[in-house]
Amino acid sequence: MKKKVLILGSTGSIGKATLEVIENQQDTFEVFGLACKENVELLNVQIEKFKPTYVGIYNEQVKEKVCFDRARVFTGIEGIKEMVGMNAEIVVNALPGSIGLEPTIEALKCNKILALANKESLVMAGRIISKLLKEGAARLFPVDSEHSALFQLMQTIDRKELKTIMITASGGPFRDHEKEALEGVKPEEALNHPTWKMGTKVTLDSATLMNKGLEVIEARWLFDIKPSQIKVLIHPESILHGIIELVDDSFITYMSYPDMKIPISFALNEGKRRPLPFNKLNVEDFFKLTFYPPDTDRFPSLRLAYEALNIGDSALIVLNASNELATFAFAEGKIKFTDIPALVEAVLDAHPHVPVIEDVTTIYEIHEWAKRHVTDLLRGFNG
């Protein structure tokens, strides 16, 4: 029997890569459902090619344009959650930002195999997600190159042997910019990532290094590890994705071509590796590996992520929400690049600390509070 896969965010970078993997592994997988926000043109192409059983479109206004049996088209976040509760074995959550949280929780409650690209779910609700995984039968496989690497490395050791984990970062398009030059960078420059072709939010987050901050938080929950045990290394070649440092001062590393189809295939196959007909590393590439520490003076977002981890759960929600809004304000030309971390820091400083949060309602209350606060602050910016 083929495994049924539901892909949330099928028209995005991870969604399209997932469909490429499935196309190549048709003996094992079939597409149960596809969901996106509003890119009906591409969704219709995917429907024609992959013949899903159900389709989701977040924006109800474009439902009429979806070439599919009306009765099997779901809309809004409620419709997408309903699809998650149906009988796909595997849910790929490749939604960007905080919209991904509810489908993640639903997939875990429904005991699905969750291939999780939406890192913001873990940032907002890592404690709740960890509990659901412990108490239920759901399984989570990270679809982030660094976390897939670390997940695989961790399987090779006894937990007592672990000293630190190291997450690599390309450094983004501005890694060599002087601090002063960052003030004037434009959204189109920030969207020009040197290694990865990704969606808008994650590309902009990579430029500020907030993406790495979110990944540090993601790792804290995925691997139940102290923030002080998580290190970040800038590695422009993006070939070595994760390193673990062991108690005997040795290191184990994971390397692969920077192609998301590798961690996607690993996740879909529930932690098994298969031959893949995509790009591969040349052995000569191994001689071009460089590493250096991140500069949190030029890129304060990474520092803010560590600070939020030390404050506790409310700070993680506030960090995520304020970053999301500030990043889109920059993309729309309303604020400067350097205003993004300044705004996040201002909201973090103003928020009432709640170190432990164990319910989704409180998460959304704090999330909404942070959005209102950023919106108020944005009125004072001249871009």
Ligand X SMILES: NC(=O)c1ccc[n+]([C@@H]2O[C@H](COP(=O)([O-])OP(=O)(O)OC[C@H]3O[C@@H](n4cnc5c(N)ncnc54)[C@H](OP(=O)(O)O)[C@@H]3O)[C@@H](O)[C@H]2O)c1
- In this complex, which beta carbon is closest to ligand X, that of residue 14 or of residue 150? 14
4, 5, 6, 12: which one binds ligand X (CB under 6 A) = 12
Phi, psi of 255 (to 5 degrees): -125, 145
* Closest listed residue to residue 257, CA positions, set 240, 280, 241, 287: 280
Provide the mask over 108-127, with x wherever binding to ligand X is found by CB under 6 A and - wherever it is not: ---------xxxx-------
Q: Does 260 bind ligand X (CB under 6 A)?
A: yes
- In this complex, which beta carbon is closest to ligand X, that of residue 112 or of residue 377? 112
Q: Does 213 bind ligand X (CB under 6 A)?
A: no
Select the residue whose beta carbon is closest to ligand X and give its number. Answer: 12
19, 83, 110, 198: which one binds ligand X (CB under 6 A) = 198
33, 52, 126, 199: which one binds ligand X (CB under 6 A) = 199
What does DSSP assign to residue 286? G
The sheet carrying 73-75 orders its strands as 73-75, 54-57, 29-36, 3-8, 90-93, 113-116, 139-142
106, 144, 218, 259: which one binds ligand X (CB under 6 A) = 144
Residues with Cβ within 8 Å of 253's Cβ and at least 6 positions away in sequence, in order, are 153, 240, 242, 243
Q: Does 196 bind ligand X (CB under 6 A)?
A: yes
Nearest approach, Cβ of residue 116 and ligand X (Å): 9
Q: How far is CA 31 from the centre of its chain?
A: 22
Q: Does 174 bind ligand X (CB under 6 A)?
A: no
Site stretch for ligand X (CB under 6 A), options 88-96, 163-171, 293-301, 366-374:
88-96
Match 């090619």 to its residue by tokens: 49
- In this complex, which beta carbon is closest to ligand X, that of residue 12 or of residue 341? 12
Nearest approach, Cβ of residue 62 and ligand X (Å): 9
- In this complex, which beta carbon is closest to ligand X, that of residue 218 or of residue 339? 218
- In this complex, which beta carbon is closest to ligand X, that of residue 93 or of residue 269? 93
Taking a C-beta distance cutoff of 8 angstroms, is the pair 233, 168 a contact? yes
Taking a C-beta distance cutoff of 8 angstroms, is the pair 113, 139 a contact? yes
Site stretch for ligand X (CB under 6 A), options 81-89, 94-102, 234-242, 301-309:
94-102
Site size toward ligand X, by CB under 6 A: 29
- The single-letter code of the amino acid at 206 is S
Rounded CA gap, 35 and 75, in Å? 9
Nearest approach, Cβ of residue 197 and ligand X (Å): 7
* Closest listed residue to residue 245, CA positions, set 155, 159, 162, 168: 162
Q: Does 96 bind ligand X (CB under 6 A)?
A: yes
- The secondary structure of 125-163 as a DSSP string is HHHHHHHHHHHSS-EEEE-SHHHHHHHHHHTTS-GGGEE
Provide the mask over 274-313, with x wherever binding to ligand X is found by CB under 6 A and - wherever it is not: ----------------------------------------
Rounded CA gap, 3 and 76, in Å? 26
Q: How far is CA 328 from the centre of its chain?
A: 16
How many CB atoms are located within 10 Å of the residue 121 CB? 30
Q: Does 11 bind ligand X (CB under 6 A)?
A: yes
Q: Does 47 bind ligand X (CB under 6 A)?
A: no
Rounded CA gap, 345 and 328, in Å? 16
Nearest approach, Cβ of residue 350 and ligand X (Å): 26
Q: Does 170 bind ligand X (CB under 6 A)?
A: no
Tokens in use for 200?
């808008």
30, 38, 307, 365: which one binds ligand X (CB under 6 A) = 38
Find the radius of gyration of the CA atoms of the chain.
Answer: 20
Nearest approach, Cβ of residue 264 and ligand X (Å): 9
39, 44, 164, 338: which one binds ligand X (CB under 6 A) = 39
Rounded CA gap, 242 and 59, in Å? 37
Q: Does 265 bind ligand X (CB under 6 A)?
A: no
Q: Does 210 bind ligand X (CB under 6 A)?
A: no
Footprint on this chain of ligand X (rule: CB under 6 A): 9-15, 35-39, 58, 80, 94-96, 99, 117-120, 144, 196, 198-200, 202, 260
